[in-house]
Chains A and B, each alone.
Chain A
């Protein structure tokens, strides 16, 4: 397998030609000319004051803006609020990478939303950033002064469409300068096609079954919206309604859906239940559970945890979280896997000799015994860990060193390259390195990344236990590997039973009816063990909750079936071109579980955040009550966290 990959890498390198020298010279000359021409306006502007370094910062803003999705932009506003920098103004694009990076919470959620960064037209991002800002408490603007890097930004009244201009205290020439830049940058990034879906789509409208009996959408296992929401709420802000994505909120939580039978990629469960927010409608809960294939063909793992126990790790978000994370991971190992722990601080030492994962008690005891204190001597620890890993390695086994640190990695060597070489060497011998970062503050991201990359591993940042769950557990169980591609759902409602229906969430995932059978149309993928939940609210025929009047001349629907509808699900086996079809009728009679009630509570909560168009008198208090009653086991505390956030929003909304 890696043969093919290496072959590709090599061929690609070999195939790459050198650039044409003549064109190179011409292109460079042309660029120099453009550069010189663009300096003219700048030089004249520069006469007024010495070039402030802050200009660079501001330019950073512009770049970030271009790459920010609305959701990311909202995250950025949160961040900015936290560091106490005020940006207020009518139309403003926001985001300063430098500032954001130093902020403890929102950053972790920034990565995921960036997923859509490039796909999102810029214009749109302006709008939402503004929306986010509006909800911010405007901080008083300090007097313009040249002493701070990032104090006040001012947008001239009637500014041209959101272009950020510089410090109000500066002469007009400087402002003009900034204005001049915009077209230069923009011409490369001309507004692109507007056919892409905006993340902040309108709430799915109510559909009348006789007119439009078929609903089609793509599944979505993205859960980033939840983290964004969490960060906003914790910073004391309510999210802009259109940024709330209910399906991502619902899908964030693990549910205990029955596992699929032997040989099936997944199992679809359909349940019809009471609607918490409306006594006269019903909810159709669709729960899809992906198979968790046996990881039997994976060779036994040898894991050496290299744990930083230096003084700086003595923080609830560091060592204790690290211990919990490792404990979480332990549950996913197979008994024949081996685990060892090496610590490093003032002196490095082996805290746990190689132990079979089956011997949980010994491992847990060693984990519990870890305590923080002393300085950091990373290199000795690293060598120790590698030595241990090599000792554990037998033929065909994979050894991996997991370095867990807050990044205060005093390597003893002043040459990071030497360290990288050391790690790369070890990779050749079959030992890999992954780096897990904990806590913010002195986390040296670049070094961590470099180390992990040279060790052929990953670097991940863990700020919450859920993140640990996602990074450690999911990686191990192979959730990164899809079990089904292009999963589409189509529901046909029976007009004899259902007068109206409405899909809750999935606004951005709608597909055309004919796309369902078209295998060329892309849809969401599902990974090993993933779950997807979709909820419809349906109004039975004859229900007083019906919002539309029945048509007088419409033929009466055939009442021959008591099915509410029919669920069709299409998916492709990974890599396959042709899809397969799973069909399930939607009927009353299944039991409503706590999982479903919790999903309903979250869906209701999301709808309230979006404005509660269909939720009537039902409020945050009701959502909390429903969720609280359906918390279930909640092994990772996700649901408790949700409850806390719901209560917070409840008090904010009062």
Chain B
């Protein structure tokens, strides 16, 4: 039983060639990776593809895990980078940009209230530039500003600034509605 073992320990074992540890780790983090992928891209299909990419690359990438950073911090950086990567590829660009469109969300929304809320969410997320959206999603994970800074490769101050900017934009959005 390895249920009590930390992510980091599992990752190091996997990095050292332990297949069982790798499998266990992957099932542990799979849903988190997918959820983050969805929040970053706003598209279920995109998130599925992204998660698949990451699964395939993880055996190789894990060897780069040094056990000092929290596994989640490390992993989130992998996800964020992979999302960047996908966005850069011209083919999927249009799709990714439309990601936070309302089709996907509205379809799943049942009650009117929920639909309205989701519509608002899509609008809010779409209104944010990619980098702000990324920061937001990571902070809400929740991660500390320092971790987010590390993941995004920016300074902590920039994270804080971005968060204030996001709040401001949300406020502006609200004012625009009323």
Contacts and interface: CB of A to CB of B under 8 A. Distances in A.
Nearest to A55: B16
A24 B37 CA distance: 14
A459 B77 CA distance: 21
Interface in A1-50: 1-2, 4-5, 7-9, 11-20, 23-24, 27-28, 30-32, 34-36, 38-39, 42-43, 46
Contacts of A527: 161
Interface residues of A, number: 77
B167 interface: yes
A114 B67 CA distance: 20
B61 interface: yes
Nearest to A101: B68
Contacts of B84: 118
B39 A12 contact: yes
Contacts of A42: 17
A51 B47 CA distance: 36
A32 B173 contact: no
Given A111-B149, A111-B155, A188 B61 contact: yes
Pick the most buried of B15, B118, B157: most chain A CB atoms within 10 A of its CB. B157
B66 A59 contact: yes
Given A60-B66, A184-B59, A188-B60, A17 B153 contact: no
A431 B55 CA distance: 42
Contacts of A66: 64
Given A15-B118, A27-B55, A31-B26, A98 B60 contact: no
Interface string B48-69: 1001110111111101111111
Secondary structure at chain A's binding surface: helix, strand, loop or mixed? helix
Contacts, number: 202
Contacts of A114: 149-150, 153-155
A118 B153 contact: yes
B167 A5 contact: yes
Interface in B111-125: 114, 117-118, 120-121, 124-125
B52 A62 contact: no
A39 B38 contact: no
A23 B140 contact: no
Contacts of B69: 97
A558 interface: no
B62 to A, nearest CB: 8
A32 B30 CA distance: 13
A34 B23 contact: no
B34 interface: yes
Given A453-B144, A481-B164, A192 B88 contact: yes
Nearest to B174: A4
A28 B170 contact: no
Given A16-B35, A19-B31, A185-B64, A27 B52 contact: yes
Interface of A: 1-2, 4-5, 7-9, 11-20, 23-24, 27-28, 30-32, 34-36, 38-39, 42-43, 46, 51, 55-57, 59-60, 62-63, 66-67, 97-98, 101, 111-112, 114-119, 181, 184-185, 187-190, 192-193, 224, 446, 449-450, 452-453, 458-460, 480-482, 527, 574-575
22 contacts: A1-B167, A5-B166, A5-B170, A7-B117, A12-B121, A16-B38, A17-B108, A30-B52, A35-B19, A35-B58, A42-B17, A56-B66, A60-B64, A62-B64, A63-B74, A66-B64, A118-B84, A184-B57, A188-B53, A449-B144, A453-B142, A482-B161
Given A12-B121, A115-B155, 10 more contacts: A4-B170, A32-B19, A51-B16, A56-B16, A63-B66, A97-B69, A114-B154, A188-B61, A480-B160, A575-B172
